[in-house]
Structure 1
Amino acid sequence: MFPYITHKGDQCEAFFRDYISADRKILLIATLGFNDLCLFFPRLLSQYPNVDYLFLVEERPEVAEVLRQAADRNRSVLVSALAGRKVQFESVAIVADDTANVAGRRATRVCAPWLANGYTDVMVDASSMSRGVCFPVFKHAYLCARRTGGAHAHLLTAGRATSTINAVSMSSDAPQYMHGFQSDMDTDEVQRAVKLWIPQLSERAVVSLERIHRELMPEETCPILPFPAANPRRGDLLLREFEEPILNDWDVNLKDVIYAHESDPTDVCESIVRINNGRREAFSASPEFPPRTVLSPAGSRIGSVGMLLAALRLDLPIMYEESIGYNSDMLAVPALQVLPPDYLWHIWPSP
């Protein structure tokens, strides 16, 4: 059934106070990113002496200098806040020399020895971690948690309604299944599968999602729109941006558009679970045409976390395009945010 315990907002800090006792040994796996969201959970957990820190430094070939400067600033903040603690920064190459996407494979390889160090809990901070790194790392931690004596796996994420960092992703232009999230796709068992594609719509993602659609060639498409959202018109604006592919290329029945809460990953997860299970029941009388649901996260990190939960719960494949770099037109690194993030989530899936 894949039940999970969730806390949001101020409940997260209350959970840490009640849960992190002296007999627990905790590892936080996070990312050193250019967005200062990467600072929130490490600084929040710094009050507990029994927390160790592994920061993955995602290395991409093309990143604007101002974004590198922002990441350097964030590293200095972390080093100062965590002085005297067990802290390690590990570089993770996102793209190999031959341009192959190696993000998930290399990230899990870096994390593997840490997960074998006898921790009682492993917390993965998705706040600024790319999907190609976060999803495989958390799946690895979750599978370890299912073993006898394995550390409990927790997923953390923080978000803001409006980002303080202006960064534009440069896509790899190469759709592929995410490391660890291919399921049985591209096997003989699903040659006649009836594929449902659930993409997460996001600004400036039309070209990337169209490439994924051409690669996947699904029989049905049910895009996810954010609603409710911080900007009540965001769903309408996205429909206008995606008007051409939705009405023509993807042949979407507007009644099949999924509306999921922008800042609630459980709403995204449960919507996908409900649709997937309904299709399985509908196709149960035709075993020669097995239904398959393929996810494509492309929007907000919190909504993407909902896709991760659904993929773990139902063993769903994920097709995406990795970011090989980031551009920015900012002239200087913005000041650190004083106010806490607008959205905070702690999610604890039961093994």
Structure 2
Amino acid sequence: MLARILGNRLSAVFVREERPSPSRRVRELAEWNVEELRRIVPASKFEPVTILDVDNAVVGGRNAVEAVRRHSFSSVTDILVDMSAMSIGTSFPIVRYLLELVERGEQSPNLHVVVATLPEEDEGRRRVSNDVVSIVHGFHGGLKLDSQARSAKLWIPQLSVPKLTALEKIYAALSFDDVCPILPFPSQNPRAGDAIAEQFIEQIEGAWEVDARNIVYASEDDPIDVYRTILDIEEQRRPVFEETIKSVVVLSPVGTKAVALGSLLAALDRGLPVVYVEAMKYDVPTKEDRVKAESELLHVWLHGDAYPRAGS
């Protein structure tokens, strides 16, 4: 779409996430995508980003920021970050770096974030998770500070059936005091939230001890609804603990892309920590050769001409 509109005014930096031992089919699809992207955007550069170190330590976020840092954006009017094919461990740090860059005024293009989302497809990605629970690079939110070791930790995970094991690892690693899981509503499938809750019934009623009043319902395809919901929870909780042990709200947006985008906005706004389990590898079902035509494109304008400047 951008190439049709902008022609040779469009340039691109494509981040290519590299994980150990990808399947032959994933590699073939990746090479096909590279050739298509080169055809669509001749003025493009590709940045391979190593996601896992030799000891399986997660290094993707830091490497992604360094890859983007090598490029200058002084001559462009708009930067558009497409999160669709990136993990949150890569996309979140890139967006944070670029937002800080344009806010400092060193380079002043508009900054946009877009994502192509189809909940059924987002949930259908097959992945093998790492064994290590990680904090997204740049999104520690004070979670590691000794002064917050005794803070009351509220966890807001996005429930996703394929990520059930990963979510269990996160809960076991951080020992949260309260859990407010996110379920989709409204959603394309009216029973999507019920179906997900059924798969998590042991966690909700057992280990996590979730009060039914603490279940969060957020629109499946509206990141602004997710953003506002998280901010409301954080604002209501803060004064309760302000004068005692303090509170920290931890996000784990591990499911659909729309919820991930809304969680990103909340984390940037309030400095919230984001915790996840990085994927060691991905695979795709045979029928899913490319993004389906009915995927919805979501757009958020983060910084620039859409907002009044200070003093104006």
Report the counterpart of residue 17 of structure 1 in structure 2: none
- Does residue 53 (structure 1) correspond to residue 12 (structure 2)? The answer is yes
Report the counterpart of residue 263 of structure 1 in structure 2: 221
Q: Structure 1: how far apart are the matches of 2:4 and 2:57?
A: 37
**Which of the residues 226, 240, 249 maps onto 1:293?**
249
Which SS does the other structure have where 2:71 is aligned? helix
- Shift of the alpha carbon at 1:107? 0.3
- In terms of mean alpha carbon deviation, does 93-102 or 64-73 score higher? 64-73
**Which of the residues 88, 92, 96 maps onto 2:45?**
88
- Does residue 195 (structure 1) correspond to residue 133 (structure 2)? The answer is no
Matched positions, count: 302
**Which of the residues 128, 139, 147 maps onto 1:170?**
128
Which SS does the other structure have where 1:97 is aligned? coil
**Which of the residues 204, 221, 224 maps onto 2:179?**
221
- Shift of the alpha carbon at 1:315? 0.2
Q: Deviations over 1:96-141 (max 9, x none)?
A: 1121100100000000121454433221001111111100000001
**Which of the residues 29, 38, 55 maps onto 1:98?**
55
Amino acid of the residue matched to residue 207 of structure 2? Answer: D
Give the aligned CA root-mean-square deviation in angstroms.
Answer: 2.0
Q: Aligned in 2, Cα 1:74/1:166: closer, same or farther, shift over 3 Å?
A: farther
Q: Structure 2: how far apart are the matches of 1:46 and 1:95?
A: 36
Amino acid of the residue matched to residue 67 of structure 1? Answer: V
Q: Deviations over 1:176-211 (max 9, x none)?
A: 211000021121221220110000001221111011
Amino acid of the residue matched to residue 14 of structure 2? Answer: F
Amino acid of the residue matched to residue 277 of structure 2? Answer: E
Which SS does the other structure have where 1:96 is aligned? coil
**Which of the residues 70, 76, 80 maps onto 1:113?**
70
- In terms of mean alpha carbon deviation, does 242-251 or 158-167 score higher? 158-167
Q: Deviations over 1:76-109 (max 9, x none)?
A: 22222223xx211110000111211001000000
Q: Structure 2: where are the runs of 5+ without partners?
A: 305-312
Q: For the Cα contact (< 8 Å) 1:226–1:262, is it kept in 2?
A: yes
- Does residue 346 (structure 1) correspond to residue 299 (structure 2)? The answer is yes
- Shift of the alpha carbon at 1:301? 1.1
Report the counterpart of residue 267 of structure 2 in structure 1: 311
Report the counterpart of residue 24 of structure 2 in structure 1: 65
- In terms of mean alpha carbon deviation, does 314-323 or 160-169 score higher? 160-169
Report the counterpart of residue 204 of structure 1 in structure 2: 162
Report the counterpart of residue 145 of structure 1 in structure 2: 102
**Which of the residues 120, 132, 135 maps onto 2:89?**
132
Which SS does the other structure have where 1:206 is aligned? helix
Q: TM-score, normalised by structure 1?
A: 0.81
Q: Aligned in 2, Cα 1:230/1:115: closer, same or farther, shift over 3 Å?
A: farther
Amino acid of the residue matched to residue 345 of structure 1? Answer: L
Q: For the Cα contact (< 8 Å) 1:169–1:325, is it kept in 2?
A: yes
Q: Aligned in 2, Cα 1:65/1:333: closer, same or farther, shift over 3 Å?
A: farther
Q: Structure 1: where are the runs of 5+ without partners?
A: 1-42
Q: For the Cα contact (< 8 Å) 1:165–1:334, is it kept in 2?
A: no
Q: Structure 1: how far apart are the matches of 2:80 and 2:303?
A: 14
Q: Aligned in 2, Cα 1:210/1:162: closer, same or farther, shift over 3 Å?
A: closer
Amino acid of the residue matched to residue 156 of structure 2? Answer: I
Q: Structure 1: how far apart are the matches of 2:290 and 2:105?
A: 45
Q: TM-score, normalised by structure 2?
A: 0.91
Percent identity for Structure 1 against Structure 2: 33
- Shift of the alpha carbon at 1:145? 1.4
Q: Deviations over 1:148-185 (max 9, x none)?
A: 24333211111124439964111112112110000211
Amino acid of the residue matched to residue 320 of structure 1? Answer: Y
